C-alpha cells in the first residue's frame, strides 16, 4: 500500500515519523542508532516535509519504504549546470529514497517513484535526484524510471568516527514534459 503527504497531508508523516527514522537509520547507518543521530534525522526530515512531499509504502501494515522530495533549493550542492536547465517552481529534488532491507527487490522503489510522478504531475515536470556513484542498484532503478545522468560532484563529509571522507555523487534528472 502507498500513502502520501502531498498537498500538506502531514498527519501521515507525523504518525509514522518514529518508524521512518528507524527505517532510515537501519538503511543507511547499519543500525548504529543513538539519540543524537535520531535527533539530527528528525530535524532533517522535518525540514523536508515542511515544504515538500513524502510517499510511503507499507507491507503487512508496516512502513517498508519512503521517498521524500522538496524544492531544488533544499540541495545546497545542486550543480550550476542543472540549475540552469530547470525551472525551480516546476521542479522537485528527491532528497531521500529508502526501502527496508527485507522489502528490497520487490518493486517498492519504482512504486514510490511512480506514485510521486502521478501525485505531482499537475505541479511539477522536472525531478532531480543525487546518488552515491557506486550505488549501482539505485542508479539502475532511476534509469528505469527515465532519469538521465547529468553530472557528478564530490561531496565532502565527516563520518561517524570524525574522519573526513569524499563521496562522488551522481546527479540524474527526469523531465516529463
The predicted-structure confidence for 91-107, as pLDDT tens digits, reads as follows 999 999 999 999 999 99
Confidence of residue 132 (pLDDT cuts 50, 70, 90): very high
What are the pLDDT digits (tens) for 11-42? 888 899 999 999 998 888 764 444 446 678 99
Confidence of residue 10 (pLDDT cuts 50, 70, 90): confident
Q: What is the DSSP letter of 60?
A: T
In the chain the domains, ranked by start, together with CATH numbers, are 2-175 (3.40.630.30)
Confidence of residue 162 (pLDDT cuts 50, 70, 90): confident
* 87-91, 104-108, 120-124, 160-164: least confident range: 160-164
Cβ neighbours, 10 Å, residue 26: 15
Percent share of the chain, pLDDT over 70: 90
Over residues 70-83, the mean pLDDT reads 96
* pLDDT at residue 33 in the model: 42
Q: With a cut of 80, say whether residue 79 has pLDDT above it.
A: yes
Q: Grid coordinates representing 111?
A: 512504486
Q: Grid coordinates representing 176?
A: 516529463
Q: Bigger pLDDT: 160 or 143?
A: 143
- C-alpha separations of 127 from 29, 95, 175 in Å: 26, 10, 7
- C-alpha separations of 173 from 15, 130, 133, 144, 177 in Å: 31, 9, 14, 12, 12
Report the C-alpha gap between 166 and 10 in whole angstroms: 35
Mean pLDDT of the chain: 90
Q: Bigger pLDDT: 87 or 162?
A: 87
Report the C-alpha gap between 141 and 146 in whole angstroms: 9
Amino acid at each position: 500500500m502507498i500513502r502520501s503527504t502531498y498537498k500538506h497531508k502531514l498527519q501521515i508523516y507525523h504518525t509514522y515519523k518514529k518508524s521512518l527514522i528507524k527505517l532510515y537509520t537501519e538503511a543507511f547507518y547499519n543500525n548504529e542508532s543513538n539519540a543524537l543521530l535520531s535527533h539530527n534525522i528528525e530535524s532533517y526530515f522535518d525540514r523536508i516535509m515542511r515544504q515538500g512531499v513524502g510517499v510511503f509504502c507499507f507491507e503487512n501494515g508496516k512502513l517498508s519504504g519512503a521517498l521524500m522530495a522538496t524544492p531544488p533549493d533544499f540541495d545546497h550542492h545542486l550543480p550550476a549546470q542543472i540549475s540552469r536547465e530547470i525551472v525551480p517552481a516546476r521542479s522537485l529534488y528527491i532528497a531521500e529514497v529508502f526501502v527496508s532491507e527485507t522489502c528490497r527487490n520487490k518493486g517498492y522503489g519504482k512504486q514510490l517513484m511512480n506514485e510521486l510522478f502521478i501525485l505531482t504531475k499537475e505541479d511539477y515536470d522536472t525531478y532531480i535526484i543525487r546518488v552515491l556513484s557506486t550505488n549501482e542498484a539505485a542508479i539502475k532503478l532511476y534509469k528505469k524510471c527515465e532519469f538521465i545522468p547529468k553530472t557528478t560532484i564530490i561531496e565532502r563529509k565527516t563520518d561517524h568516527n570524525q574522519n573526513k571522507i569524499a563521496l562522488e555523487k551522481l546527479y540524474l534528472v527526469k523531465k516529463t514534459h
